Structure 1
Amino acid sequence: MPRQAQPDEIAEFITFIASDRVRFATGSELVADGGFSLGPVR
């Protein structure tokens, strides 16, 4: 994604990972950077 996240998108992500919907994800590293850490978009 060639843009930065909006605050409401990050809030949605945090709400999701704090919910019971991910109760089986333990010890996972979840990155909410829109793919930025993968490098430049070509």
Structure 2
Amino acid sequence: PLIVVGYDCKLNKIGGRLCDLAPTMLDIMGLAKPAEMTGVSLIEK
């Protein structure tokens, strides 16, 4: 997968895992991560 992040965001974590993909996409869209998701967002706003 490819995620393009704007200049106002920085990487929060290097070497993310597949489970981090959905929380990162939700974070980009400004949506809350459900409690069932174990991953974390890879960006820092």
TM-score higher than 0.5: no
Which structure has greater helix proportion?
1
Greater relative CO (CA pairs within 8 A, separation 6+): 1
TM-score, normalisation: structure 2: 0.28
